[in-house]
Amino acid sequence: MTFDVATLPEPALNPSHWESDDLIPPDGSAWDLLVIGGGTAGLVAAKTAAGFGASVLLIERDRIGGDCLWTGCVPSKALLSAAHAAHDARTSTRYGIHVDGVTVDFPAVMAHVRRAIATIEPTDSPAAMRAAGVSAAHASARFTSPQAAIVDGHQVQFRQALVATGAAPVMPPIPGLADAAPLTNESVFGLTQLPGRLLVLGGGSIGCELGQAFARLGSRVRIVEAAERLLVREDADAAALVTQALAGDGVEVRTGVAVTAVRPDGSAWVAELDDGTEIGFDAVLVAVGRRPRTSSLGLDVAGVELDERGFVRVDARLRTTNPRIWAAGDLTGHPQFTHTAGVHGSLAASNAVLGLRRRADVASLPRVTFTQPEVAGVGVSLERARALGLTMRTLGHVEVDRAITEQQTAGFSRLVLDGKGRVVGATIVGPRAGESLPEAVLAARHGLRARDLAASTHAYPTYSDGLWKAAIAQVQAQLTGGVTRRATQALTSVRRLTLRSR
């Protein structure tokens, strides 16, 4: 079986030819800020700098909007929403609602995915950039010196520059894999037919999200993950709940094994695993991580060093080893999220243009994996909390009334607290967990304590009750232990005596 992996077909979705602005800066000599890469980091940086009155030239070689808009967050979340709708229809019997004959119209699902992209695209478009005061050019850029780059054959001088060229999917060197035309995030959203049997290499965020999406849309999905478990960056018990949900979706999860070779099998393919087993498949999606896009940029000529993993080396203020060049987003080695790219792009631009010395936040960056159940986390993980001897409060969602009313109790809310009771981490697993996370992010960022969360009334019945109840449990534990307990008991006795004597 062969899949027609076209690039996104609608003209509105393929604005690969757009008019470039003039490459000559307004003062005729040098741009205040040259931004290379028009993904989230570059876009936010360019708009921020232009907002401060800087002359800004943004260079993008493909589509403005980058991975998030075209091949990442937006299409994956749109695909997941369709898949979850199919799942809800199939499983509504538990609420006494019977839906017969759920069918998936895959081309219509993909049209929904493209509509989501097309609706968001105008906010990131070249026109939007111009409206924000940014000059944008459709070209590749390469540094030719620490203060100049070549763009479309033209030398461009800059006072400062920001590199934001993102990351690309890693392709493992498995013999025979290339012959099977492996899908990546760059091609999977161009599928026009649902794969019958989909093999997914990698059980990280992409593997779990897209593995679940395709399974719920009707593919027979197998995920092969080299590590001992899925979602290695999340708490083990959170990952276990996702593994359980995937099994419920019919996904076969194989961990601790690796594919050693791929060979053809008629019109399909077979993957050979290092435990001696084999998996037959029609299409394979590779999601084993992403490598920074740093080649062909002339970074060496510009004096910009890479770290030992190949990411652009930046200091806490996002300055590279060339003091005139900054970097933000997926190519820096910071967690690869759109919100990180945006916040760091803005921060790097502010530091560059205004000469500020703001430092990038790395301790309270949120993470959300949009499977069902959703997994949301910030700060210190369970494993690290144990190693550091920190306090943890975990509340199972069997105690959250909203979860009970929705029959979605397979989840939990966890707070990690330091010795002073300050929130230093949180993990939430359950429906819309990412929507309950921000208060934990706020707490971790501003040193709030469990008692601050406990003292803030949460609406009933919401999923945020989970975190609230965990905070209350912590406060109650403090009140019923040691000195505090003796003090409250003494107060109660005094009050009792006072009232008796009246």
Ligand X SMILES: NC(=O)c1ccc[n+]([C@@H]2O[C@H](COP(=O)([O-])OP(=O)(O)OC[C@H]3O[C@@H](n4cnc5c(N)ncnc54)[C@H](O)[C@@H]3O)[C@@H](O)[C@H]2O)c1
CA 164 – CA 43 distance, rounded (Å) = 9
Decide which of ligand X, ligand FAD, none touches 444; Cβ closer than 5 to 8 Å per partner kind. none
Decide which of ligand FAD, ligand X, none touches 25; Cβ closer than 5 to 8 Å per partner kind. none
- Give the one residue of 172, 176, 218, 280 binding ligand X; rule: CB under 6 A: 172
Total residues binding ligand X (CB under 6 A): 25
Decide which of ligand FAD, ligand X, none touches 41; Cβ closer than 5 to 8 Å per partner kind. ligand FAD
User: Alpha helices, DSSP H only, in 230-298?
Assistant: 236-248
User: Rounded to the nearest 5°, which phi and psi values hold at 171?
Assistant: -110, 110
For ligand FAD, the closer of residues 56 and 164 by Cβ is 164
For ligand X, the closer of residues 68 and 417 by Cβ is 68
437 binds ligand X (CB under 6 A): no
Question: For residues 249 and 410, is the Cβ–Cβ distance under 8 A?
Answer: no
289 binds ligand X (CB under 6 A): yes
Interface segment toward ligand X; rule CB under 6 A; list 102-110, 223-231, 415-423, 461-469: 223-231
Question: For residues 133 and 50, is the Cβ–Cβ distance under 8 A?
Answer: yes
178 binds ligand X (CB under 6 A): no
> Cis omega (within 30 of 0) on the bond before 26?
no
The minimum distance between CB 439 and ligand X, in angstroms, equals: 19
The minimum distance between CB 305 and ligand FAD, in angstroms, equals: 18
Chain mean position to CA 312: 20
The minimum distance between CB 475 and ligand X, in angstroms, equals: 32
Question: For residues 243 and 237, is the Cβ–Cβ distance under 8 A?
Answer: no
Decide which of ligand X, ligand FAD, none touches 491; Cβ closer than 5 to 8 Å per partner kind. none
DSSP structure class, residue 62: S
> Cis omega (within 30 of 0) on the bond before 461?
yes
Provide long-range contacts, Cβ within 8 A and 24+ apart, for 381-386: 381/233, 381/234, 381/235, 381/416, 381/425, 381/427, 382/235, 382/236, 382/237, 382/414, 382/416, 382/427, 383/235, 383/236, 384/425, 385/416, 385/425
Interface segment toward ligand X; rule CB under 6 A; list 1-9, 305-313, 364-372, 397-405: 364-372
Cite the beta strand spans of 113-206 per DSSP E: 135-138, 141-145, 148-151, 154-163, 167-169, 197-201
For ligand FAD, the closer of residues 298 and 461 by Cβ is 298
Q: How many CB atoms lie within 10 A of CB 387?
A: 10
**Neighbouring C-alpha atoms within 13 Å toward the C-beta of 37:** 31
Q: Which residue is nearest to ligand X (CB)?
A: 204
- Residue 52 one-letter amino acid: F
For ligand FAD, the closer of residues 61 and 384 by Cβ is 61
The minimum distance between CB 437 and ligand FAD, in angstroms, equals: 12
The minimum distance between CB 255 and ligand FAD, in angstroms, equals: 21
Decide which of ligand X, ligand FAD, none touches 39; Cβ closer than 5 to 8 Å per partner kind. ligand FAD
Decide which of ligand FAD, ligand X, none touches 165; Cβ closer than 5 to 8 Å per partner kind. ligand FAD
**Neighbouring C-alpha atoms within 13 Å toward the C-beta of 319:** 15
- Give the one residue of 158, 281, 337, 468 binding ligand X; rule: CB under 6 A: 337
Question: For residues 42 and 345, is the Cβ–Cβ distance under 8 A?
Answer: yes
Residues between 255 and 284 that touch ligand X (CB under 6 A):
258
Decide which of ligand FAD, ligand X, none touches 151; Cβ closer than 5 to 8 Å per partner kind. none
For ligand FAD, the closer of residues 296 and 484 by Cβ is 296
Decide which of ligand X, ligand FAD, none touches 289; Cβ closer than 5 to 8 Å per partner kind. ligand X
Q: How many CB atoms lie within 10 A of CB 216?
A: 24
Question: For residues 67 and 229, is the Cβ–Cβ distance under 8 A?
Answer: no
Decide which of ligand FAD, ligand X, none touches 369; Cβ closer than 5 to 8 Å per partner kind. ligand X
User: Judging by DSSP bridges, how do beta strands 56-60 and 31-36 pair with one another?
Assistant: parallel
Which run of H or E residues covers position 206? Answer: helix 205-217
For ligand X, the closer of residues 148 and 242 by Cβ is 242
For ligand X, the closer of residues 25 and 373 by Cβ is 373
Decide which of ligand FAD, ligand X, none touches 68; Cβ closer than 5 to 8 Å per partner kind. ligand FAD
For ligand FAD, the closer of residues 294 and 413 by Cβ is 294
User: Rounded to the nearest 5°, which phi and psi values hold at 378?
Assistant: -150, 145
Binding site for ligand FAD (CB under 6 A): 36-42, 59-62, 66-68, 72-73, 76-77, 140-141, 164-166, 185, 206, 293, 297, 329-330, 336-339, 341, 370
DSSP collapsed to 3 states, 226-247: CCCCCCCCCCHHHHHHHHHHHH
Token pair, residue 338, equals 């759109």
Residues between 368 and 397 that touch ligand X (CB under 6 A):
368-370
Binding site for ligand X (CB under 6 A): 172, 201-207, 209, 224-227, 232, 258, 287-290, 335-337, 368-370
